[in-house]
Structure 1
Amino acid sequence: MVFKKTAMVFLAIMMSFAAVFTVTPEHSEVQAASSYHSMEKSLNAIMGDATMKSINSSVTVRKASTGEIVYQSNADKKVTPASTLKLLTSAAALETLGEEYRFHTDLLTDGSISKGVLNGNIYLRGQGDPTLMKKDLDQFAVTLAKLGVKQITGDLIGDDTWFDSVRLSPSIDKSDETHYYAAQIAGLTLSPNTDYDAGTVIVDAKPTKNGYKSKVTLTPDTGIVTIVNKSKTVPKGQKNTLSIKRQYGTNNIIVTGNVPVGSTGKREWVTVSNPTAYTLDVFKKSLSAKGITFKASSKTARRQAPTHATIITSKQSMPLKSLMRPFMKLSNNTHAEILAKTMGKQVYGQGSWSAGLRVMREYAQSIGLDPTEWVFEDASGMSHKNKVTSEQLTELLYLVRQAPWYGSFVQGLPVAGMNDRFVGGTLKNRLKGAAVKGKVIAKTGSLNHVNSLAGYVETKNGETLIFTVLTQGQAKSTTPTIDRIATILANS
């Protein structure tokens, strides 16, 4: 998963969206629509189907220009939104933190440098930056080397106290913890590549010789995890049964199964237990690569940097408006939870879920949403206990169009059928027909027995509609049905 630089293409696409999706709303009384009979008939046929009638669903369609509801089905029914909850998270973050907000990671010391020796401790202090990578830690090491440092007498300390010590939201199940979408949230964390799945390491297992174990490599290289390799290379043409998972409650990554000769093997983004220790371990390797060593008595620890510590160098993340693309297009759960805790820290001085979710609720109420219609215990949408109505989600999508940061909000949404991952995102392989490709920009949502889609669609007449489709309790995915609804709207 490589970040393709398609800036010119993306700019052209977003300029075309600007003309369609950024009309300044006009205030008018919401009233029954009379010019959408064909659309209503087609949607009623879908919603009246036996499959849809047997599940929980909520559908609302509005005119983007006025907010007028032109179609609704169970619009006031609360349904689990899955990742469409991120629409509220991103809006609240842009409003609370600002488009230009950047995360900072600082390298500090409480000592002094003399004759190549840093006499004192060295601190790595984070603010939860999900874009921090090994190359940034390498640059910190370069800075120390340029200052002439060859040895550090004190400890290597990680300061992750920007956030509280609760690393997993209540919605994360034991079985989820190995997966990238359920990474631990920490004030000091590291991403393996520019998808920015913070708190994970990329594990590659590739075939070797028949009868031998696979070759396992880590990106970045780290000793914080232990690879337990139980895999086996088998003859070409046999089934690839490789499994790569972290053992619950440990940093042991278990690799099992068969990998055929000549195959690509398997690659997984696996979470680490204790992202702070992971970041410090990779940083220590960066220092070693520059010839910087620690005394034998030095330790690696976690605690807050003293107020008198001096900043040696810092790294700033991209601004929040740019982070919207990897966050929303790839539906990054870790980004959502980091932003929630950051909002809590910014407003209430507490980098906690309770403070962050409070900010989100207060933001919703401040723009006129009904707080009694929103129930959520995380910011990513992972919890099945989260509930909202399609009426409220479409109202949110209508109201944010008036915000000065709306351009940053909308350019983060996935675009139907667009092949580039950082344009199409989670809609890359959906809605690819000529009548709808590029005309739907919306946030997807998916959990077990839950599917949703919420965003904007351009009709064949050039009108912009706001829509939300929430479904819950289905035995099979309702994604095909949701895409049929989006296609009907595009053809209206």
Structure 2
Amino acid sequence: MLRITPIFAQTITLKRIAEITLGQCTQFLGVFSVLVAINACLVMTANAQNTLPPSVENLLKKAGLKNQQMQLLILPANSGVPLLNYQAENSVSPASTLKLLTTFIALDELGPNFRWKTQIYTDSTFKDGILNGKLYIKGGGDPNFTWDKLSQLLRQLRQQGLREIRGDLVLDRSYFQPNRPELNAPIFDENPDAYYNVIPDALLVHSNISAFSVSADNNTVDVKLTTPMDNVRVMNQMTRSNSPCSEWKNGWLSPKISIDTQRKIDITINGTFPKNCRADVYLNLIERNAYIASVFKALWQELGGNWQGNIVDGVVPTNANLLLQKESESLLETIRIINKYSDNAMARILFLTVGAESALAKNFADTSQTSNAVVREWFTRRNIDSSNLLIENGSGLSRLDRISAWQLASILRVAANSNWYPEFASSLPIVGIDGSMRNRLKASKAEARARIKTGYLKNVMAVAGYVRDVQDQDWILVAIVNTDEAIASKAKPALDEAINWLANGRP
């Protein structure tokens, strides 16, 4: 056995070394002598394979990728030394596999039944169905606050007797700071109106998405706005094409938006659309206060109400009266959507919520900074090294994020040994069955035997999660490819083979 210097009066057995994580090895560097710490870490990984499986290596080569562009780590799910460690200590861009960090730490910090709250207040009273004053909507960060949920709140207001609002609609987004993070934010890529690019705030109504139904026959292209909105005019300038229906996106152009001083919104739709085809389009187009005002007025009028006032940002005053409150789905239900369908906006909200709900919030002006501090504190409590960890927004949709395969695997091992493992594992895509893995590795040994989170950017392709092999042993697998070019998608067969190789008993 290895003996630590007598001053520490501790002994580390080989069994203990087999159970420690890389984070604990790194922690030893700060507690024990450097030589002993290095020896402990070497013993821990001495039996780990440090080369890629030949079948994985061959597929990388076939894709024009280099071995050095992949990080691969495989270790037993509950305890024990790694089976394979190939460059797993390198900090790399994880893409959406970073959602594993966000969702499990949120689950561990907040619990599976945590719920967000959206509230409606007024600082006046209403008489004879008329409110002569302001109506406040306070966002509590609900990641899935749809227009239907807003309609339910407004219906309850009508049931309380309110018919006419003669005052401003005040939006309180103070749960997160800054309260309007989307303002002046840089564009991530060439699709700023895509849903995956939505930058959330604490009062994100229907993810700020406008939905359109587009169809064409042999003569015309028809475009309908299907989101309930008031004061919106859709100007359809689309023409027909002879393209296949599956290629309709090739002719689509980003709509042009104009909003006048009276909150009237003009949406001009350009481009081409294949004849005898139809599609539903969901776009983040409209400045969000104008969007909320339009949706609010349409829903309120539909319920027989009338609103005369402006929409403004503000904070609920301390003397305001709570009229209504709407709770969200549970955190458990939310992380299933985030992980199975890799929902960026919901992941970003969850990351901010971890900070907003923490006692550390008083130490930071920016909620994202608080969330980062909570994550690092969590790493420290779990003896995971947080060196070189960089988190921009918690979703993985970032070119700044950095994490190692070791750090991701360490989180997965903590999860596997936690009270929340069933809840967490159930949120991950099941290979060949559902979520982002539903069409991958079908009819393989991995089908239905692995729960894998995927990640993809133009220069990143990644998979991470749990694999049960044909001997019914459970493993953690993290595989990440980073390239200098926008060719990461070519790595998919090699990543899938890593999962299949492990599930198939490592032939």
For residue 263 of structure 1, what is the amino acid of its counterpart? C
What's the counterpart of residue 279 of structure 1?
292
**Distance in 1 between residues matched to 2:228 and 2:270, nearest whole Å:** 20
User: After superposition, where does 1:7-86 map in structure 2 within 5 Å?
Assistant: 29=18, 31=44, 42=55, 51-53=64-66, 56-86=69-99
User: After superposition, where does 1:407-418 map in structure 2 within 5 Å?
Assistant: 407-418=422-433
What's the counterpart of residue 150 of structure 2?
137
Q: Which deviations, in whole Å up to 9, do the C-alpha atoms of 1:402-454 show, x marking residues without a partner?
A: 22222221111111011xxxxx1110111112422111101100000210000
Matched, 1:288 2:298: no
What's the counterpart of residue 362 of structure 1?
377
Matched, 1:173 2:199: no
User: After superposition, where does 1:393-412 map in structure 2 within 5 Å?
Assistant: 393-412=408-427
Greater C-alpha radius of gyration: 2
Q: Which deviations, in whole Å up to 9, do the C-alpha atoms of 1:26-56 show, x marking residues without a partner?
A: 9662545869899956556667778442652
What's the counterpart of residue 113 of structure 2?
100
Query: Runs of 4 or more off by more than 6 Å in structure 1?
Result: 33-39, 47-50, 235-239, 248-252
Q: Secondary structure at the match of 1:442?
A: strand
User: After superposition, where does 1:83-482 map in structure 2 within 5 Å?
Assistant: 83-163=96-176, 164-168=178-182, 172-173=187-188, 175-191=190-206, 198-207=207-216, 210=219, 212=220, 214-223=221-230, 227-234=234-241, 240=248, 241-246=250-255, 254-264=268-278, 266-295=279-308, 298-347=309-358, 348-349=361-362, 352-418=367-433, 424-473=434-483, 475=487, 477=489, 478-482=491-495
Q: Which moved more, 1:454-463 or 1:307-316?
A: 307-316
**Distance in 1 between residues matched to 2:232 and 2:75, nearest whole Å:** 50
Compared with structure 1, are the counterparts of its residues 235 and 79 closer, same or farther at alpha carbon in structure 2 (3 Å cutoff)?
closer
Q: Which moved more, 1:219-228 or 1:309-318?
A: 219-228
Give % identity: 26
Q: Secondary structure at the match of 1:372?
A: coil
For residue 320 of structure 1, what is the amino acid of its counterpart? L
**Distance in 2 between residues matched to 1:155 and 1:274, nearest whole Å:** 18
**Distance in 2 between residues matched to 1:367 and 1:225, nearest whole Å:** 52
For residue 378 of structure 2, what is the amino acid of its counterpart? Y
The TM-score, its normalising length taken from structure 1, stands at 0.83
Q: Secondary structure at the match of 1:216?
A: strand
Deviation at 1:489, TM superposition (A): 0.5
Structure 1 unmatched runs, 5+: 1-25, 192-197, 419-423
**Distance in 2 between residues matched to 1:426 and 1:171, nearest whole Å:** 28
Compared with structure 1, are the counterparts of its residues 157 and 101 closer, same or farther at alpha carbon in structure 2 (3 Å cutoff)?
same
**Distance in 2 between residues matched to 1:472 and 1:224, nearest whole Å:** 47
**Distance in 1 between residues matched to 2:103 and 2:495, nearest whole Å:** 23
Compared with structure 1, are the counterparts of its residues 225 and 445 closer, same or farther at alpha carbon in structure 2 (3 Å cutoff)?
farther
Q: Secondary structure at the match of 1:460?
A: coil
Would you say the 8 A contact 1:28–1:66 is kept in 2? no
**Distance in 1 between residues matched to 2:304 and 2:231, nearest whole Å:** 21
Compared with structure 1, are the counterparts of its residues 38 and 304 closer, same or farther at alpha carbon in structure 2 (3 Å cutoff)?
closer
> Alignment RMSD, CA only?
2.9
What is the number of residues matched between the two proteins?
Answer: 451
Q: Which moved more, 1:173-182 or 1:274-283?
A: 274-283
Q: Secondary structure at the match of 1:397?
A: helix
Q: Which deviations, in whole Å up to 9, do the C-alpha atoms of 1:166-199 show, x marking residues without a partner?
A: 42497752524211111021111122xxxxxx23
For residue 417 of structure 1, what is the amino acid of its counterpart? G
Would you say the 8 A contact 2:257–2:267 is kept in 1? no
For residue 321 of structure 1, what is the amino acid of its counterpart? L
Would you say the 8 A contact 1:246–1:270 is kept in 2? no
Deviation at 1:144, TM superposition (A): 2.0
Deviation at 1:235, TM superposition (A): 6.7
For residue 312 of structure 2, what is the amino acid of its counterpart? A
Would you say the 8 A contact 1:123–1:156 is kept in 2? yes
Compared with structure 1, are the counterparts of its residues 246 and 401 closer, same or farther at alpha carbon in structure 2 (3 Å cutoff)?
farther
Compared with structure 1, are the counterparts of its residues 384 and 236 closer, same or farther at alpha carbon in structure 2 (3 Å cutoff)?
closer
Q: Which moved more, 1:239-248 or 1:73-82?
A: 239-248
Q: Which deviations, in whole Å up to 9, do the C-alpha atoms of 1:119-165 show, x marking residues without a partner?
A: 22111111121211122222222222222222122222221222223
For residue 330 of structure 1, what is the amino acid of its counterpart? Y
**Distance in 1 between residues matched to 2:420 and 2:467, nearest whole Å:** 20
Compared with structure 1, are the counterparts of its residues 103 and 207 closer, same or farther at alpha carbon in structure 2 (3 Å cutoff)?
same
Q: Which moved more, 1:122-131 or 1:161-170?
A: 161-170
Deviation at 1:219, TM superposition (A): 3.6
Q: Secondary structure at the match of 1:359?
A: helix
Q: Secondary structure at the match of 1:481?
A: helix
Q: Secondary structure at the match of 2:120?
A: strand
Q: Secondary structure at the match of 1:325?
A: helix
**Distance in 1 between residues matched to 2:239 and 2:280, nearest whole Å:** 16
**Distance in 2 between residues matched to 1:33 and 1:41, nearest whole Å:** 20
**Distance in 1 between residues matched to 2:50 and 2:256, nearest whole Å:** 55
Q: Which deviations, in whole Å up to 9, do the C-alpha atoms of 1:377-412 show, x marking residues without a partner?
A: 221111122122212211211112222222221111
Compared with structure 1, are the counterparts of its residues 365 and 166 closer, same or farther at alpha carbon in structure 2 (3 Å cutoff)?
farther
Q: Secondary structure at the match of 1:86?
A: helix
Q: Secondary structure at the match of 1:322?
A: helix
Q: Which deviations, in whole Å up to 9, do the C-alpha atoms of 1:279-298 show, x marking residues without a partner?
A: 34212211111211124xx2
Structure 2 unmatched runs, 5+: 1-14, 20-43, 260-264
Would you say the 8 A contact 2:236–2:269 is kept in 1? yes
Deviation at 1:486, TM superposition (A): 0.7
**Distance in 2 between residues matched to 1:277 and 1:161, nearest whole Å:** 19
Compared with structure 1, are the counterparts of its residues 120 and 248 closer, same or farther at alpha carbon in structure 2 (3 Å cutoff)?
closer
Would you say the 8 A contact 2:230–2:294 is kept in 1? yes
For residue 211 of structure 2, what is the amino acid of its counterpart? I
Q: Which moved more, 1:240-249 or 1:401-410?
A: 240-249
Q: Which moved more, 1:437-446 or 1:398-407?
A: 398-407
